[in-house]
Amino acid sequence: MSYPSISFRFALFLSFSLTASLPVFSKRYTPSSSSTPKATPSDLLSLLGSKTQSLAVNPVVARHLKSCFKFLVPFSPTDPHHRKLGLGLGLGPSRSKDNDLIWWPPEPVLELARLSVDSGGDPAAIHRLLDPTIIPVPDVEGSTEERCELTRTPYGRRFICEELNLYLQFLFQLIVDRGPSVGLDVKLNRFDLFHGHLFLAVDSGRLGILFHAKEYPAYDKQVFPYNMGFCQRGSNVTYDDSMNLRNILWLAPMPGDSDESWVAPGVLVVLDARPDGIIYRDLIPDYVNFARTIYEDDFGDVAVDVNYLNVGSKTRNYQLFIC
């Protein structure tokens, strides 16, 4: 199930073939000193890991990366305690409880996090926990009429454990709720936020999801002159400075050596890819610098895509499809 992203990557080839004569908006940032070390995806993950991992990152790189972290949940957790999600999950009765659910998620999420590490970062460990039931992906906000295929496959699945499915929905909802606090006004729809890529990190096996918001900005001859295919048609997503914030990273707590120990809490952070920052300079490929896309397979092995889609015809009806 580990395939390249089908949206920006595919659309870029089409876009460049149609708009080759148009200028690219953003020039790659050139550091003031040629001796500035280059940041890597592993550096970024290490800074959000254990104290030992964080201290191993070059201090100059660490300082620049930290300036690009916009936390949706403070990076200052309390002691571990785990909460059970009920079937009526919303955004929780209080901000502090939502923070707790990121720092120290419910037991099934912790078990999944430990399994990811214990498996040596094997995506098959995730696949074995999926219900084999096939769920066809229906029309999503008029996508069928536009011949738009939003998911890797025309069907999805869900985890056998319902609490895992509820937690994934919670993450989408919390991003929407907390996004404005860091300048990210995001909506749950097929042009903006609807998917994330679940990965197991290189070396550590740590479980994470890289969410992409602002997936299909509206075509605009002056501001965004890129044709991204059928799924872009009808978009009302404006290309503006908020594109810098389209990459949102969730990391599960990092297990320690013993069965009960944890060396790092869960994390939910927006990765600021502003043109004068190190993320833009070192982690955004040149061919998508205008789209500010960080690719999930730079962080690790991708197990599945997690899609949260509005399949309602008259009223909103968000459902999960794991592809």
* pLDDT of the residue at 261: 87
Residue 109 token pair: 């999420």
- State residue 243's pLDDT score: 97
Split at pLDDT 50, 70, 90, the class of 313 is confident
Q: What is the pTM of this model?
A: 0.88
CA-based torsion, 202, 178, 103, 303: positive or negative: negative
Give the pLDDT confidence of 183-228 residue by residue, as tens digits. 999 999 999 999 999 999 999 999 999 999 999 999 999 999 999 9
Encoded tokens for 94: 């209080």
Q: Are 231 and 149 in contact (CB under 8 A)?
A: yes
pLDDT at site 82: 52
> Which pair of tokens denotes residue 121?
């970062």
152 pLDDT band (50/70/90 cuts)?
Answer: very high
pLDDT value of residue 68: 98
Residue 49 has a pLDDT of: 94
Q: Which two tokens stand for residue 294?
A: 């960080």
Q: pLDDT per residue over 246-273, tens digit each?
A: 999 999 999 998 877 899 999 999 999 9
Calculate the average pLDDT of the chain: 87
pLDDT band at 77 (very low <50, low <70, confident <90, very high): low
DSSP string, 278-305: HHHHHHS-GGGTTTTPPPGGGTEEEEEE
The pLDDT of residue 306: 98
Residue 159 φ then ψ, to 5°:
-70, 150
Percent of the chain with pLDDT over 70: 84
6-39 tens-digit pLDDT: 454 544 433 433 333 333 333 344 444 446 799 9
Question: Could you tell me whether strands 267-271 and 207-212 are parallel, antiparallel, or unpaired per DSSP bridges?
Answer: unpaired
If we measure between CA atoms, which residue out of 106, 108, 65, 99 comes closest to residue 83? 106
Q: How far apart are CA 273 and CA 38, in angstroms?
A: 15
φ, ψ of residue 303 to 5 degrees: the values are -90, -50
AA letter at 35? S
Indicate if the pLDDT at residue 66 is higher than 80: yes
Tokens read off for 1: 């199930």
Q: Is the pLDDT of residue 95 over 90?
A: no
Residue 236 has pLDDT above 60, yes or no: yes
| pLDDT (average), residues 33-59 | 90
pLDDT attached to residue 2: 37
Q: What is the bridge-based pairing of β-strands 155-156 and 195-201?
A: unpaired
Predicted confidence band of residue 58 (pLDDT cuts 50, 70, 90) = very high
Return the SS3 of 250.
strand
Give yes or no for residue 90 having a pLDDT over 50: no
Which residue blocks in the chain are alpha helix, DSSP H?
8-18, 41-47, 51-55, 59-66, 95-103, 107-118, 124-127, 162-178, 278-283
